[in-house]
Amino acid sequence: MKYYLVAGERSGDLHGGNLVKAIKKYDQDAHFRGFGGDTMEAQGMELVAHYRELAFMGFLEVLKNLKTISRYLKKCKADIEHSRPGVVILIDYAGFNLKIAKFCKAKGIRVFYYISPKVWAWNTRRAYKLKRLVDRMFVILPFEKEFFQKFDWEVDYVGNPVLDALKEHQVNPLHYRDDLTVALLPGSRAQELEGTLPIFCDLLNRFPEYQFIIAAVDNVDRQLYENIESKPNATLLFGSTYDLLANARAAVVTSGTATLETALWKVPQVVTYKMSTWTYNIAKRLVKVKYISLVNLIANKMVVKELIQDDFNLEQLAGELRSLMENEDYRAGILEEYNSIYEVLDQGSASENTARLMVQYLDGPSAG
């Protein structure tokens, strides 16, 4: 079977790579091609375009880069039509992938969606569009199955791939004092780093006694880290986020998949997020959920503190970090909630579950 995968972000590349690896166990003749990144390519996928060319965040940033996005949409559609895969597997990245789903539907190509767009967060009626365009949906958050049932659509809950990656990781020790180590996860996109790193620099000045290790990425300009890297209590760590979390006492995390990763590594954290004022004002009117972090969304309550936009300032951040580092009762309460989240998500291997179901659906009657 020829599989075409489309992932437009770093996390999508990670989970897409694990999915490719799992599909090969169930389909010995599998061939993979598509949009993704280094992880998917390392598993044997023929890479047509790298996600770093597509990782734009926020309404304003997307508008600024519409020409680039449009160019890659055309490239993706043309390549799918030329390669004629048996199925197109879309991984998150809703704005781009919904357009690809519409194209594939018109061309009679089966569409599987792995890691649902967050339609439960805003514009929930998009669920009808997904149902119309997607043959099978594979969701990774337990509440998503119940959400889609409201639209008379049975989807497959497969567990969470973040847990897969965590279980498979062999931890390397870091040579720092664990009781003084703070993990900083500022994000993986340039726009995120521009919003978070200046405040993180001030935080390092406030706590000279702590050792701050920054989870850095190599798909952005190294100069973005220049100011924080110059601090005496700062260390950049590239490509070893899980090792960092396994050795940290507390973490400051930009909202996204990393919040869930941090929780599953049992590291007390504070969640931060800052975007352009224009984007924030739009999002505030559209978003329908109470929380922004996956930790709080899965628990359906405030497990970790969220500092968003104006609340993301030095005073509030410093106060919360001190509690996370020094207040044992506060830490214990967070860790207890983390254990409950882990149990809810532990459904075996999400990648294996998804791969097995996908191959079954493709071998059986036409999906739909």
| CATH code (residue 70) | 3.40.50.2000
Whole-number pLDDT of residue 56:
53
In a shared domain, residues 57 and 200 = no
Interstrand relation of 110-114 and 31-36 (parallel, antiparallel or unpaired): unpaired
In a shared domain, residues 93 and 175 = no
In a shared domain, residues 277 and 303 = yes
The total domain count for the chain is 2
In a shared domain, residues 274 and 309 = yes
Question: What confidence tens digit (pLDDT) does each residue in 277-316 have?
Answer: 666 555 666 566 689 899 999 999 999 999 998 899 999 9
CB atoms within 10 A of CB 286: 10
279: containing domain: 168-345
CB atoms within 10 A of CB 113: 24
In a shared domain, residues 248 and 335 = yes
Residue 264 domain flag? yes
DSSP secondary structure string for all residues of 319-335? HHHHHHHH-HHHHHHHH
Residue 59 domain flag? yes
Residue 40 domain flag? yes
Judge whether 148 and 125 are in contact, CB under 8 Å. Answer: no
Whole-number pLDDT of residue 276:
61
Q: Which amino acid is at 133?
A: L
Contacts of 57 by beta carbon, 8 Å cutoff, 6+ apart: 189, 191, 192, 275
In a shared domain, residues 261 and 180 = yes
In a shared domain, residues 187 and 248 = yes
Distance CA 329, CA 343 (A): 22
Whole-number pLDDT of residue 203:
97
In a shared domain, residues 192 and 234 = yes
Residue 289 domain flag? yes
CB atoms within 10 A of CB 135: 19
Task: Give me the count of residues in the chain.
Answer: 368
In a shared domain, residues 146 and 270 = no
Residue 368 domain flag? no
Distances (CA, A) of 327 to 212, 250, 321, 323: 19, 11, 10, 5
In a shared domain, residues 353 and 330 = no
Q: How would you classify residue 308: left for phi > 0, otherwise alpha for psi between -120 and 50, otherwise beta?
A: beta
In a shared domain, residues 97 and 147 = yes
In a shared domain, residues 326 and 358 = no
Instruction: Determine the straight-line distance between the first and last CA of the chain, rounded to whole angstroms.
Output: 18
Q: Low-confidence residues of the chain, pLDDT below 50?
A: 59-60, 366-368
Q: Which amino acid is at 80?
A: I
pTM (2 decimals)?
0.79
From the number of C-beta atoms within 10 Å of its C-beta (0-12, 13-18, 19+), residue 313 rates as middle
